[in-house]
Amino acid sequence: MTSEIPGLRDAIESCIGFLRHHQSADGSWSDWDLVPGPSDSWTTAYLGCQLVAVTAPWRERTAPCTRTAAGWLKSHELETGGWGYNPNVGADADSTALAIRLQSLEGAPIRAASWRRLREFQQPDGGFATYSADDGLGSWGASTADVSASAGYALLGANEKADAQSDDHADWETDNHADGDTGSALARTVGYLMKQRRPDGLWNSFWWSSPLYATRAGLALLSAVRARLDLRGTRHTLLGVQARNAFECALLLDCLELLTTGGPRCTSVTSLAETLIAAQLPDGSWTSVPVLRLTDRDCLSPWERPQAGPLYADPQRLFTSATVLAALSRL
């Protein structure tokens, strides 16, 4: 219940107001400032997925935002199929997966060509690469845990039910919107993620400075498909993680909540929520810091290299704030 944590309801409502205020009239959001310029498609898809996940009673306030965002994405799919960081950049797996997921959750039909475009990013190891291996972008064409989890969630679909049939992984029966291979693609993705888990129970992030992003995404997908996996080591490691900023704090909070199976809320979750509430800015947002890594194309394991690429913050604070909002609302 929200009353358990003082100030939680006000923090959520204030952030919703901030995000609604910064949504363009056409339904899009724009944030980040990388070399190709600001991001609209990727940002809109990510924010929409965060807002569509906001729980009652706030979902009523976010519904108009996610509906118009899904409509904007539908009309801005690239001619080659899929979505990218912005119109100046080709389609990528993460943007495409998020856009498909949001539209699916909003009840919009997904074109078969869009599903095929997403599946073109799946690699022989079962994971998904950000870009096609044939694009000549080096490590950007290799499978990553963070992107694979996002693609897997899109494949799973909004209302699908999936059950693991063995202790490792299984064939999931999925509602096929594109062709007969969607269920197999999902099973291969889940299998890839299980193999990518580190000995300490976390997952490495390719595009982010913290493993918490990939870990949160991986846990969400594995929970959705009800995979049979011993996550006690993951929880133990997470309880020892020190979040360095609001973005990481929200991801850590979400991870711990995903590992709570009907039991009492751990004190770490309450502490993280209180920290976030206290750090909220007057306009309803949270301070952003450089967390997005533009990984060097010659680097396959950026978590092993001290300087693997420049880090960027979201200057409009939309990406960070939406991440915090979704995590807090689930409390």
- Dihedral sign from CA coordinates of 321, 324, 325, 326: positive
Q: Is residue 305 part of a domain?
A: yes
Within a 10 A sphere around the Cβ of 298, how many other Cβ atoms?
A: 9
∠ CA(18), CA(268), CA(264), 5° rounding? 100
Q: Which residue is listed with tokens 């939406």? A: 322
Cβ atoms of 51 and 29 closer than 8 Å: no
pTM summary value: 0.91
pLDDT of residue 53: 92
Are the C-beta atoms of residues 204 and 145 closer than 8 Å to each other? yes
Whether residue 210 is contained in a domain is answered as yes
List Cβ neighbours of 165 (8 Å cut-off, separation of 6 or more): 171
pLDDT in tens, 44-62: 999 999 999 998 889 999 9
**83 domain residue, yes or no:** no
Token couple for 207: 């595009």
The alpha carbons of the chain give a radius of gyration, in whole angstroms, of: 18
% residues pLDDT > 90 (the chain): 82
**pLDDT score of 182:** 63
pLDDT digits (tens, 9 = 90+) for 203-250: 999 999 999 999 999 999 999 999 888 999 999 999 999 999 999 999
Which H or E element spans position 126?
none
Structure token pair of residue 88: 């100046």
Tokens of 228: 């049979």
In the chain, how many domains are there? 1
Tokens in use for 251? 């991801």
Residue 97 lies in a domain: no
List pLDDT tens digits, range 21-31. Answer: 999 999 999 99
Number of H helices, E strands in the chain: 12, 6
Exposure on the CB side of residue 139, measured as CA atoms within 13 A: 14
Q: Would you say residue 175 lies in a domain?
A: yes
What's the rounded Cα separation, in Å, for the pair 150 and 128? 9
Beta bridge partners of 311: 293
Say if residues 301 and 205 touch (Cβ distance below 8 Å): no
Per-chain mean pLDDT for the chain: 90
Residue 280 sits in a domain whose CATH number is 1.50.10.20
Expressed as residue numbers, the domain containing 304 is: 2-11+107-329
- pLDDT at residue 179, as a whole number: 41
Q: DSSP E strands: which ranges in the chain?
A: 31-34, 37-39, 128-129, 143-144, 292-293, 311-312
CA-to-CA separations, 44 to 28, 68, 152, 293, in angstroms, rounded? 5, 10, 19, 19
Structure tokens at 239: 């309880």
Contact indicator for 112, 178 with CB cutoff of 8 Å: yes
User: Residue 292 pLDDT > 80, yes or no?
Assistant: yes
Residue 219 resides in a domain: yes
Residue 146 lies in a domain: yes
In a domain, 271, yes or no: yes
